[in-house]
Amino acid sequence: MATEDSVTRYVILHPEHGVFLGVSSRGDLFWSMYGGIKGTDAPSVITEEEGERLIEIVETATTPPLAGMYMHPVKAAQERVTADELRAAGLDQYVGVLSHPAWGQEGGTA
């Protein structure tokens, strides 16, 4: 949740895939609207320049290149943005797998 320590950060968003969650060592991309990664938060960047660079990297990591990504501002206290912070930024429809009840709990599985 946003606190007085929160700053504006940016998450990478895709209209169909949701919030960018990361990339595997094999080059697989993970998105909030699909399974495949267990977690309760998403990476963010602090500047628009960092976001543009990350989008460029993600676009070229796919064949064919994935177009349509953009940055969305989120108030967050840390680099990893929680599902609640995404909801507060109006991104409830993109929270997806981040809201799985077992993920983030000791011993939870999906």
Q: What beta strand segments (E) does the chain contain? A: 7-14, 18-23, 29-31, 41-43, 70-76, 80-82
Cβ atoms of residues 12 and 58 within 8 Å: yes
Can you give the pLDDT at residue 110? 38
Domain regions of the chain by residue span = 7-97
By the 8 A CB rule, do 35 and 41 touch? no
Q: Which residue has the higher pLDDT, 10 or 109?
A: 10
33-45 in b/e form (b: 16+ CB < 10 A) is beeebebbbbbbb
Predicted TM-score (pTM) above 0.85: no
Lookup: tokens for 88:
């507060």
Which amino acid type is present at position 53? R
What are the tens digits of pLDDT across the range 41-51? Answer: 899 999 999 99
Q: Which pLDDT value is given to residue 1?
A: 54
For the segment 1-49, what is each residue's pLDDT rounded down to a tens digit? Answer: 556 688 999 999 999 999 999 888 887 888 888 866 667 789 999 999 9
Give the model confidence (pLDDT) of 59-84 as tens digits. Answer: 888 778 888 999 999 999 999 999 99
On average, the pLDDT of the chain sits at 83
For residue 59, the 8-state DSSP code is H
Residue 97 predicted with pLDDT over 50: yes
